[in-house]
Chains A and B, each alone.
Chain A
Amino acid sequence: MLKFVARRLLLLVPILFGLSVLLFVWLRALPGGPAQALLGERATADSVARIEALYGLNEPWYVQYWKFVSSAIQLDFGNSARTNRPVTEEMARTFPATFELAIAALIFAVGIGIPLGYYAAKKYGTWLDNVSVSGSLLGVAVPVFFLAYILKYVFSVQLGWFPTQGRQDPRIDADHPTGLYVLDGLITGNLEASWDAIMHLVLPAIALGAIPLAIIVRITRASVLDVVHEDYVRTAEAKGLWERTITRRHVLRNALLPVVTVIGLQAGLLFSGAILTETVFAFDGVGRFIAEAISNRDYAVLQGFILVIAAMYVVVNLLVDVSYGLIDPRVRVR
């Protein structure tokens, strides 16, 4: 097992190397550059050259690449051309926000998706089944930004149940040692801040979790339908076991194997930020920050953020594979 983890982590090196080269070349192939973006339409050749010299953009790309790699190894990704702050600082601000939002979306998707999928399978062919299947089709089909705007309009603007944007009411005076606002409130004993952060999370989490929810419902339902007809479930019935034992030990433990894979893949996607959701709810996370960085040709930010996201994606997938080995003994070889 340890060897397996080590091998997979070692794989990160070529992945990150290849990605960084691609990213570097691709970013510089985009029309315009950070100097143009900063200076706007009235940029003169002189001012552009001055900015480029400031950021070292006038050097050949392999020299720039070498500089980038040698500092990136020390976790220094340079400064943002837009905010002029270190990229690592921007990461420390935005990643916890996205992480918190992703966790909330996952709790929503898994917490509702697995029970709903299970009962849909249990009540196969009834109205509950039909509603959850067609509902999950709708969940996948509705564009995220549309859903986000509808949620915001109905529940924030019209009903006023939830705040419209941001992560925290600016009138609340709260400390943020970890950057995870809900956790911060609990740590500092500021329960009001925690509750406020949760209220800010509800609508974005629903918007972001809608697609994972729909996928989890469908996979759980299909998987449970498969498993309840397995011979070992009949064996369990023949033993006269209580229905809850059969459900938990014999049906769900087998039915959830494919669901875990799906959850892992979705988690990887969620952690890389949600540009649409974060934009609609003005949620200061990774997705929104990257979107802005792209329009500003903010090379340093894009390079750093995308590499870290790629690394996270690999690690999350590794965690999924490891957990798979824990819940399915047949995979526990090597």
Chain B
Amino acid sequence: MTNSEPLLDVRDLSVTFTRKGGPSVRAVDGVSFTVRPGETVGLVGESGSGKSVTSLAVMGLLPRRGVQVGGQVAFDDDDLLTLPRDRMRDIRGRDIAMVFQDPMSSLNPVVPIGIQVTEVLERHQDLKGDTARAAAEDLLSRVGIPDPARRLKEYPHQLSGGMRQRALIAMALACRPRLLIADEPTTALDVTIQAQIIELLKELVQDTGASLVMITHDLGVVAGLCDTVHVMYSGRIVESAGRRELFAQPRHPYTGGLLASVPRLDAPRGAPLHPIPGSPTDVLRWSRGCAFAPRCPNRIEPCTDGPPPLESIGGRSLRCLNPLTETEEVATR
């Protein structure tokens, strides 16, 4: 981790989905975080916590209708949220790239892999014909796809899931972006392939010096990869800390619950699992208190009086009125 100027500075980002004849839904609410050059940042949370929407807002990929985006996303002195659409197109794929969740559906089924790789090079680096093809071949072999010349001519359905995700990573890294956003890149893959893909991302990010924003619900991925971790719940960041501090001592009861819910191999046989009680849909509106309160084992009276503020405590940010203490065992009810 370096202490230079942040590459990406997300300030007070909020995303609201409005529907005709329905209540509007605030999916992301006052989210702020920074990504420094070369840093790997984890955004962690359950489904529906707003982590994917955050990344799509940064990329400018949210639908234009029915969505209100507020706050600032500073990148290179530009605010990505107010940038003209064509300028944003120049940045996407060249300076900021993204790898998505499902490699099965993220590739165009009727276009050969080769064209889907070279089109990025043609768009941003003015490579054409044989030069572009050679560069694409090089990219595929760098992400560990054997026999790249043949693979370039094939269609997505002829590749396995892991291969497809490798191809998508090759496309994302084609123009050596300074920031890569990976949105649950391993969720749709076999467990054995997951580790390979994470390892590949780690290597490539180290080689190119790119920053990485890793969006995941898998704390194992975070533990092996990220420098800084932001835990999201119901559209807000509830705890931010360095990886070591977070794993050594989670302070927010939700973080604690996430860590406790990971099954352990060294636990005695037949020991119960420790899920977080309730479901992410049992939320309180943030305006009325802590959204996690309905599921929280550490809940105290003031939790439901109003939104708890995000406070800096000992090198981390925490949004909790009654955090887990230094010595307290992680709640396991």
Please report A residues at the B interface, Cβ cutoff 8 Å.
230-232, 234-242, 245, 249-250, 253-254, 257, 327-330
Contact = CB atoms under 8 A, between A and B. Distances in A.
Given A245-B123, A250-B111, A329-B155, A234 B90 contact: no
B106 A231 contact: yes
Nearest to B92: A240
Interface string B52-77: 00000001010000000000000000
B108 A250 contact: yes
A329 B123 contact: no
A236 to B, nearest CB: 7
A168 to B, nearest CB: 43
B123 A242 contact: yes
Contacts of B108: 232, 235-236, 249-250, 253-254
B10 interface: no
A239 B106 contact: no
Contacts of B110: 253-254, 257, 327-330
Contact of A330 (B59, B106, B157): B157
B213 interface: no
B107 A235 contact: yes
Contacts of A245: 119, 123
Interface string B73-97: 0000000000000001111111001
A328 B155 CA distance: 10
A306 to B, nearest CB: 38
A239 B157 contact: no
Contacts of B97: 238-239
Given A237-B61, A330-B155, A231 B119 contact: no
A239 B123 contact: yes
A232 B123 contact: no
Interface string B94-116: 10011010100111111110010
Interface string B142-175: 0000000000000101000000000010011000
7 contacts: A231-B100, A235-B107, A239-B123, A245-B119, A249-B108, A327-B110, A329-B110
A230 to B, nearest CB: 7
B125 to A, nearest CB: 12
Given A238-B93, A240-B94, 18 more contacts: A231-B102, A232-B106, A232-B108, A235-B108, A237-B61, A238-B100, A239-B97, A239-B119, A240-B88, A240-B91, A241-B119, A241-B120, A249-B111, A254-B108, A254-B109, A327-B110, A330-B155, A330-B157
B109 A239 contact: no
Contacts of B155: 329-330
B124 interface: yes
Interface in B21-52: none
A239 B97 CA distance: 7
Interface of B: 59, 61, 88-94, 97-98, 100, 102, 105-112, 115, 119-120, 123-124, 155, 157, 168, 171-172
Contact of A329 (B91, B94, B109): B109
A241 B93 contact: yes
Contacts, number: 81
A238 B105 contact: no
Interface of chain A, main secondary structure: helix
A330 B90 CA distance: 32
A123 to B, nearest CB: 11
A120 to B, nearest CB: 16
Contacts of A239: 92-93, 97, 119-120, 123, 171
A232 B119 CA distance: 14
A330 B109 contact: yes
Nearest to B63: A229
A245 B120 CA distance: 11
Given A230-B105, A329-B157, A330-B155, A235 B168 contact: yes
A240 B90 CA distance: 6
B160 to A, nearest CB: 16
Q: Considering the complex of A and B, which 5 residue pairs feature the smallest CB-CB distances, nearest first?
A: A240-B93, A240-B92, A239-B93, A231-B105, A329-B155
A43 to B, nearest CB: 63
A83 B92 CA distance: 71
A240 to B, nearest CB: 3
Contacts of B109: 232, 254, 328-330
A224 to B, nearest CB: 15
Contacts of B124: 240
Nearest to A236: B108
A330 to B, nearest CB: 5
A226 to B, nearest CB: 12
Nearest to A253: B110
Contacts of A231: 100, 102, 105-106
Q: Name which of B88, B105, B157 has the most chain A CB atoms within 10 A of its CB.
A: B105
Given A240-B93, A329-B155, A234 B111 contact: no
Contacts of B93: 238-241
Contacts of B100: 231, 234-235, 238
Nearest to A228: B63
B61 A249 contact: no
A241 B61 CA distance: 13
Q: Name which of B90, B94, B111 has the most chain A CB atoms within 10 A of its CB.
A: B111
A254 B109 CA distance: 8
B11 to A, nearest CB: 23
A328 B157 CA distance: 11
Contacts of A330: 109-110, 155, 157
Contacts of B171: 235, 239
A230 B100 CA distance: 12
